[in-house]
Amino acid sequence: MKAIADRTGRHCLLLPSNRLGLYLALRHWCTPGQRVLMSPISADEILFLVLAAGLRPVIAPVSRRDGNIDLARADLAAVDAVLTTNLYGLPDQVEALTGKILIEDVAHAMETSVGGRPLGTFGRAGVFSLSKHPGAGSGGVLAVDDPADLRALEKARDRVLERGSLRAELVAVASSMARQAALRLDLVRPALKLMRALGMQEEREGYRIALRAGELAVAMKEAGELPPFDPWVRADLHDYRAGRGPVARWYQRRRVAKVPGERARRLAGVRALAELPSVAPAVLDRLDQPLFRVPLLVRDRDQAIEALERRGVATGYLYDPPYDDYAPGFTEASPDPRDARWWCSHVLPVDPVYASRAMPVLRGLTPAR
């Protein structure tokens, strides 16, 4: 947490997860019933967090350059707040959002800056993830300017926090260590096979978790309260609001401390991947940023994923279909969802740290048009 406080110059609140931080920020700065502009391309649970806060998701058009909100085609006058995504570390147009309640989801963008200023410092709150860049398996940090906001958010956190357990904490830390070892030792392929054989992967409909619209409609009657939305929000992280003890905090500090040392390797991977004809255009503008993932836009994405897995490269962070098609009736649809659909069906996010391992497959991919 100190590393993020030093980077942002803000007051920071340690949390069990990024997703809990987003809920707390939305509840703190927004009033139930307000309209929140958001990208249709983000993790499943983010949509449910907005609904849990009692807010109306207004889905924005996106840019094909980066998969983020296209402000030129969004009606900012019709919304009360904006939730950025900073997809794969590529920044949203945060400098153009002054005057709006801005909540920055910085899960993918811990290392990204705009004009020399770190993301997470432009909005009322920046919400970081310790499981993305650091790979700590859990943990989030909410960064704010005002100590009074920090105190209020801490009280709100404690009201929804569940009791953690040492056993669960040890299992989570050991699992994260095993994932990191599998990546380093090029054992991703057998690790994936083992996880699938043991049923350790969350059941999904395509790349999304099951919506269960009828059950969600019932939960909506209690909008403004988080627990009724747990069946959706907890996807892939069932203890997202369980308190963490000294073991998890030690591991989080250890993993965060490794992030600066990985910067050069990450930047080298970004630059190597940027030479591919399939790279998303916005990456070429951000060669000085150690992106979380480098998005490629390829014609046969599913076949590419299979080919990468055969080489021991796992692909994650796919958000298909976009929210418009995933949860109709629970969102205010984008005025033009076509670019989001195109992006979601073609994007292939690649970890730049392991770019060289993936290159034999990536060089043969056909760019999407």
Q: Indicate if the pLDDT at residue 194 is higher than 60.
A: no
CATH 3.40.640.10 residue spans of the chain: 1-262
Enumerate residues 6+ apart whose C-beta is below 8 A from 362: 273, 276, 278, 296, 304, 350
Q: Indicate if the pLDDT at residue 209 is higher than 80.
A: yes
Do the beta carbons of residue 225 and residue 48 sit within 8 Å?
Answer: no
pLDDT attached to residue 25: 98
Enumerate residues 6+ apart whose C-beta is below 8 A from 100: 76, 79, 80, 81, 82
CATH topology of domain 1-262: Aspartate Aminotransferase; domain 2 (3.40.640)
**Tokens coding 256:** 């965060």
**Does the predicted TM-score (pTM) go above 0.75?**
yes
Poorest-pLDDT segment among 69-83, 200-214, 219-233: 200-214
pLDDT attached to residue 298: 98
pLDDT attached to residue 98: 85
pLDDT attached to residue 198: 45
Do the beta carbons of residue 37 and residue 83 sit within 8 Å?
Answer: yes
Query: What's the angle, vertex CA 256, arms to CA 111 and CA 357, rounded to 5?
Result: 70
pLDDT attached to residue 205: 73
Q: What is the pLDDT of residues 109-158, one digit of tens each?
A: 999 999 999 999 999 999 999 999 999 999 999 999 999 999 999 999 99
Q: Indicate if the pLDDT at residue 193 is higher than 80.
A: no
CATH topology of domain 263-362: Aspartate Aminotransferase, domain 1 (3.90.1150)
Do the beta carbons of residue 305 and residue 358 sit within 8 Å?
Answer: no
Strands 347-350 and 294-297: antiparallel
Percentage above 90 pLDDT, the chain: 83
Q: Indicate if the pLDDT at residue 263 is higher than 50.
A: yes
CATH 3.90.1150.10 residue spans of the chain: 263-362
**Tokens coding 357:** 């391992």
